[in-house]
Amino acid sequence: MDLSQSNCHDLITLARWMAGDFSNYQQAAASPRDFAHIHVFFRPLPFDFFNGIGLYSEQVYDYDLWTPYRQGVHRLVDQGDRIYIENYSLKNAMYFAGAGRNLDILKTISKEAISRRYNCSMVFRREGDRYIGGVEGSSCFIEKNGCQTYLDSYVEVTETTWLSLDKGMDINTHQQVWGSTTGPLRFEKKESFANEVPNIL
């Protein structure tokens, strides 16, 4: 296997590990005051959406699965020593609520329905039995409660787990404004959608 094939294999592996229904039920049950029960869905998009590997994501509270509080579309790009994941927002996101669980809804997402979130891409590298990722730079700006912040994001992905910690930092003071103050969210994969990832090897 040459280097380009190896890199492509890493991209496919990351996509397959990400593809699934993740739940932090155990974390929420052990510490309900600190953590709500959340699902994170990553559902593979058809190959022809990006002419490559793409994922739709949504994050929802377990008690309200039809009202995601975060949705996105992601394009995985092989950049040699790293996997670069472009992030896109959905212009009318609630039209696509439930697409993480329902393929009929997923199929209604078009390229016209998304817009690129520049400076908000994620960069992942393989480290042993996991991929470690984080947002690129410090220019992914998010306004919360009238305060301009930049995203500080850390993610670990294994074949069966997803760990993430998102924090919003004040652009002037660099102090945390929003996000968890009790540690990262720890998810376990409840269902895999790896077989839906297009095989481009």
* Averaged pLDDT for residues 58-80: 96
pLDDT score recorded for residue 1: 37
pLDDT score recorded for residue 62: 96
pLDDT score recorded for residue 200: 76
Contact assessment for residue 180 and residue 158, using Cβ atoms and an 8 Å cutoff: no
Helical ranges in 111-197 per DSSP H? none
pTM above 0.85, yes or no: yes
The letter for the amino acid at 182 is T
pLDDT score recorded for residue 199: 82
Q: What residues does 142 pair with on adjacent strands? A: 149
The letter for the amino acid at 59 is Q
**Mean pLDDT computed over every residue of the chain:** 94
* Averaged pLDDT for residues 104-118: 97
Contact assessment for residue 40 and residue 57, using Cβ atoms and an 8 Å cutoff: yes
Mention every residue, 6+ apart, whose C-beta is less than 8 A from residue 180.
165, 166, 167
Sequence ranges of the domains in the chain:
3-196
- Predicted confidence (pLDDT) per residue in 121-164, tens digit: 999 999 999 999 999 999 999 998 889 999 999 999 999 999 99
d(CA 109, CA 112): 8
Phi/psi zone of residue 145: left (φ > 0), alpha (ψ -120 to 50 degrees), beta?
A: left
Q: What residues does 185 pair with on adjacent strands? A: 164
Triad 166, 169, 170: Cα angle to 5°: 160
| Per-residue buried b or exposed e for 54-86, using 16+ beta carbons within 10 Å of the residue's own CB | bbbbbbbeeeeeeebeebbbbbbebeeebbbbb
- Predicted confidence (pLDDT) per residue in 3-62, tens digit: 345 567 899 999 999 999 999 999 999 999 999 999 999 999 999 999 999 999 999 999
- Predicted confidence (pLDDT) per residue in 155-192, tens digit: 999 999 999 999 999 999 999 999 989 999 999 999 99
Query: Tokens in use for 93?
Result: 């996101």
pLDDT score recorded for residue 3: 38
CATH topology classification for 3-196: Lipocalin (2.40.128)
d(CA 53, CA 55): 7
Task: Give the pairing of strands 130-135 and 122-127.
Answer: antiparallel
d(CA 38, CA 135): 21
Query: Tokens in use for 197?
Result: 């990832």
pLDDT score recorded for residue 201: 61
* Averaged pLDDT for residues 97-119: 97
